A and B are shown apart, each in its own frame.
Chain A
Amino acid sequence: MTKQITLSHVNKTYVVGENPLHVLNDINLSIKEGEYISIMGPSGSGKSTLLNMIGLLDRIDSGSLVLENTETTALTEEQRAKLRRNSLGFIFQNFQLISRLTALENAELPLVLAGIDTSKRTEIVTKLFESLGLADRLQHLPKQLSGGQLQRVAIARAMVMSPKILLADEPTGNLDQKSGKDVVAVLEQLNLQGITLIMVTHDHELGARANRQLKMVDGVIVSDSGTSIEKDTKNEVA
């Protein structure tokens, strides 16, 4: 498997009032194609910030972030937006669906931004909806759908551009147990098809399902089941 995402000495600091808050401290991380990674840690540990950095939703202060062989730090906002559109799929805890648009219209938004024709868009979304068990929900408004259905519409939106990387921030956080399991099953199925899945979660059980688990504390990756960081950290603590 080839390297798909590489973070080297990545730092990010927010200024809260007059005090700097170091949310990411010298992060080094390498992710290969098709990996299934969970990022866990307490609130404020920097896991969502790390996901946002990988998703190019925020800029790193220093270090380097290579995504799909592209060094992203020097990219313009427009180039970053296009890279997000074409290579990344996002799933958010609160679904982030636009209430006035139907499920179909919500799901096709990335295709609309990419300038794809209406007929092609409908074809893509319909196929995805069929595979997600939403075939009869195309014209429903978000308020007419259950939580699990809403998240599956969001997954469809994330998948319409056939991205190679799927970033999920607490994808089951707003769902009941059954819906959560269904959503996770869909995501894992996508991972089995070769899509890299990076998921931030508080849920240890869910996190443990990933092939590779990262643990973060105070902006530092303190454990990575895919490398020897955990051992090294334990040794350092000892």
Chain B
Amino acid sequence: MKWRDSWRFSAQVLLRHKARTVLLSFAVAIGVSSVLLLTSVGEGARHYVSSEFASLGSDILIILPGKKETSGGSIPFYSTTPRDLTIEDAQAINHLSKVKSVAPIIAGTALVSHKNKSREVITIGSTQDFMNVRNLTLAQGRGFSQKSVDLAESICIIGAQLKNDLFGRYNAMGQWLKIADRRYRVVGILKERGESLGLDMRDMVIIPIRSAESLFNSPALFRILIALKPRQDEQLVKQRILSLIKKRHDDEEDITIISQNAMMSSFEGISNFLTVAIGVIASISLVVAGFLIMNVSYISVSKRQQEIGLLKAIGATANEVRIIFLTESALLIFLGVSLGLATGYILAALFNQFITSFMLIIPWWAAVASGLMSFIIGLLFTWLPAAKAAGQDPVSAMRGN
């Protein structure tokens, strides 16, 4: 029997039993689209976090005060240190040859008000390099100059949301606002941008670091962000920073350096694993579809005994009968997989059309794997009913026994 005839013969059976064909195709389609949609959530999350990291720029090191200690419990902690990280530490790091720019950060929350409107927002004290290191851009105005930072000028840059809340549709540039009990003049407004690693850039205020020192009455830095020059050996730079700070802190290694690339790659590892795990869990529905196909195939073999008997009587070999049933199953799975892929991609596209804050991304391997798995499961589960059909005795089968 030629393959083309086998496919045609199977297609006729599927067309004859339309309801059965549609229902089984749906079962496979649900399984395939579940795999696609669930893995797309995992892949979307991975992409979201990766882009968040990428928005910070590549080759970034973050210095935290205190050293990460190994504890007896499962959660490591950062030891307290008598020596704070200071602006001078940041300036010393800035002199290292492989460092492109350094942004020391003092952070806190403060009540920001303009006329009768006020709200508590995150207030960041930093230098002009903060904008570069965090890849921030201004919608209006200018950044800080070295002079304004050194002189602790009372100027600020505000987020887009804060501007709208305090000034509405009026121009905020050059206006004065109060942060705690001090007055600051607005010199820049950040371009509209979403959250970045938990920090809402739309709802914050940035002031020169020396101003923040006196505002929060503390010279202690919250973080130092360091952008490296391109193609630097990250480990080497980390070693240099450690030895520099150690020298400045009386031979104490009391800082922790986190590499953004290391964080990103470990996150990618976890998220990839989770995406695959989600895919595997979702593929259980494919196994369920496989059982359905097997049951229906058994029923089909029982109902078509006379046909099987006839085919064998007129010269079909056991293998040809087996192939007829397996081809039927393969066609059914092809329909289901096509429907499932189309449904998965359409639903993901619709989701992305309406929800812009998070994007569903169907990984290519999920589409390939769900299709392949459907065929493998479907054919495996049809094998037994097909073998039963192939083993039928023609005389008994034609009698319907």
Q: Does B339 make an interface contact (CB < 8 A)? A: no
Q: Does A78 make an interface contact (CB < 8 A)? A: yes
The A/B interface has a contact count, at CB < 8 Å, of 62
Residues 121-151 of A at the B interface (beta carbon under 8 Å): none
Taking CB atoms, residues of chain B closer than 8 Å to A86 are: 315
Contact A82 B2 (CB under 8 A): no
A171–B306 CA distance with the chains assembled, in angstroms: 17
Contact B319 A78 (CB under 8 A): yes
Q: Does A101 make an interface contact (CB < 8 A)? A: yes
Residues 269-314 of B at the A interface (beta carbon under 8 Å): 306-307, 309-314
Q: Does B371 make an interface contact (CB < 8 A)? A: no
Contact A98 B310 (CB under 8 A): yes
Output the least CB separation between A44 and chain B (Å).
Answer: 14
Contact B314 A113 (CB under 8 A): yes
Q: Does A84 make an interface contact (CB < 8 A)? A: yes
Contact of B314 among A78, A85, A105 (CB under 8 A): A85
Q: Does A96 make an interface contact (CB < 8 A)? A: yes
Contact A100 B13 (CB under 8 A): yes
A58–B393 CA distance with the chains assembled, in angstroms: 8
Q: Does B320 make an interface contact (CB < 8 A)? A: yes
Residues 376-401 of B at the A interface (beta carbon under 8 Å): 393-395, 398
- Take A96-B398, A100-B13, A100-B16 as given contacts and tell me if A77 and B315 are in contact as well, using a CB distance cutoff of 8 Å: no
A157–B316 CA distance with the chains assembled, in angstroms: 14
- Take A58-B393, A113-B320 as given contacts and tell me if A96 and B310 are in contact as well, using a CB distance cutoff of 8 Å: yes
Q: Does B28 make an interface contact (CB < 8 A)? A: no
Q: Does A81 make an interface contact (CB < 8 A)? A: yes
Q: Is the interface of B mostly helix, strand, loop or mixed?
A: helix
Contact A81 B317 (CB under 8 A): yes
A interface, size bucket: 20 to 34
Residue of B nearest to A112 (CB): B5
Taking CB atoms, residues of chain B closer than 8 Å to A157 are: 314
Contact A58 B395 (CB under 8 A): yes
Taking CB atoms, residues of chain B closer than 8 Å to A96 are: 306, 309-310, 313, 398
Q: Does A92 make an interface contact (CB < 8 A)? A: yes
Taking CB atoms, residues of chain B closer than 8 Å to A13 are: none
Output the least CB separation between A212 and chain B (Å).
Answer: 24
Residue of A nearest to B315 (CB): A85
Q: Does B1 make an interface contact (CB < 8 A)? A: yes
- Take A96-B310, A112-B5 as given contacts and tell me if A77 and B394 are in contact as well, using a CB distance cutoff of 8 Å: no
- Take A112-B1, A115-B2 as given contacts and tell me if A81 and B395 are in contact as well, using a CB distance cutoff of 8 Å: no
A182–B177 CA distance with the chains assembled, in angstroms: 109
- Take A77-B318, A78-B318, A115-B2 as given contacts and tell me if A84 and B310 are in contact as well, using a CB distance cutoff of 8 Å: no
Taking CB atoms, residues of chain A closer than 8 Å to B310 are: 96, 98
Output the least CB separation between A219 and chain B (Å).
Answer: 16
Q: Does A36 make an interface contact (CB < 8 A)? A: no
Taking CB atoms, residues of chain A closer than 8 Å to B13 are: 100
A90–B311 CA distance with the chains assembled, in angstroms: 11
Add 15 more A-B contacts to A55-B313, A110-B315 (CB < 8 A).
A57-B313, A57-B394, A58-B395, A77-B318, A81-B312, A81-B317, A82-B317, A84-B315, A85-B316, A92-B398, A100-B12, A112-B9, A113-B311, A113-B320, A114-B315
Minimum-distance CB pairs A-B, first 4: A85-B315, A100-B16, A81-B317, A96-B310
Partner-A contacts on B (CB < 8 A): 1-2, 5, 9, 12-13, 16, 306-307, 309-320, 393-395, 398
- What are 20 sample pairs from A and B whose C-beta atoms fall under 8 A apart? A52-B395, A57-B394, A58-B393, A78-B317, A78-B319, A81-B312, A81-B317, A84-B314, A84-B315, A85-B316, A86-B315, A98-B307, A100-B16, A105-B12, A109-B314, A112-B1, A112-B2, A112-B9, A113-B1, A114-B315
